């Protein structure tokens, strides 16, 4: 059964409504760059995530790296097989220039070797296509929550180090 309003399944629509009611409807929960050469997959992922996150898309690894150079993203969702630079090459370059960007690798051609390589390069997870939108959304929430927790911890460590707002540092 399809929901006429959003041209999606009723179950998916209900999940979106629940997410919105929990305050996840501002498209400000984080930013994501989807790098996928298959237009159907790229647009489906974008459409699924756009109500919750700020979403940008790229078709090639080179296009993704250009976007990442100009803009910050919280999460990178990258397909392994791309024209030009592979998804793993993109992941490797992003790790060097912006190591704080979390990466989720997706592929239609899974292998243990590929999964191990992706994790060694710093991928948060490795998903096999077709990717279940609910699984991806849950992974995104968990990843962004960990990022916020680490950022909050770093901020409190900075305050305690005497660099910002530490009264003891100013007394002495």
Question: pTM value?
Answer: 0.73
Q: For the chain, what are the domain ranges?
A: 24-157
pLDDT of residue 5: 44
pLDDT of residue 23: 47
Show the low-confidence residues of the chain (pLDDT under 50).
2-6, 23-27, 162-172
**pLDDT tens digits for range 48-61:** 899 889 999 999 99
24-157: CATH superfamily:
Response regulator (3.40.50.2300)
Per residue, the 3-state secondary structure of the chain, as one string, reads CEECCCCEEHHHHHHHHHHHHCCCCCCCCCEEEEECCCHHHHHHHHHHHCCCCEEEEECCHHHHHHHHHHCCCCEEEEECCCCCCCHHHHHHHHHHHCCCCEEEEEECCCCHHHHHHHHHCCCCEEEECCCCHHHHHHHHHHHHHHHHHHHHHHHHHHHHCCCCCCHHHHHC
Please report the pLDDT score of residue 145 as a whole number: 85
């Amino acid at each position: 059964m399809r929901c006429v309003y959003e041209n999606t399944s009723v179950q998916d629509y209900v999940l979106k409504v629940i997410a919105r009611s929990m305050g996840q409807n501002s498209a400000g929960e984080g930013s994501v760059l989807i790098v996928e050469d298959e237009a159907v997959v790229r647009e489906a992922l974008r459409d699924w995530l756009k109500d919750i996150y700020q979403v940008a898309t790229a078709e090639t690894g080179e296009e993704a790296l250009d976007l990442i150079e100009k803009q910050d993203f919280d999460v990178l969702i990258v397909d392994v097989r791309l024209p030009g630079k592979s998804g793993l090459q993109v992941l490797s370059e992003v790790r060097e220039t912006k190591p704080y960007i979390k990466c989720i690798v997706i592929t239609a051609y899974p292998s243990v070797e590929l999964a191990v390589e992706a994790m060694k390069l710093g991928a948060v997870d490795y998903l096999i296509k077709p990717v279940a939108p609910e699984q991806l959304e849950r992974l995104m929430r968990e990843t962004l929550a960990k990022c916020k927790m680490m950022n909050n911890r770093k901020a409190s460590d900075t305050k305690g180090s005497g660099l910002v707002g530490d009264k003891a540092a100013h007394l002495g």
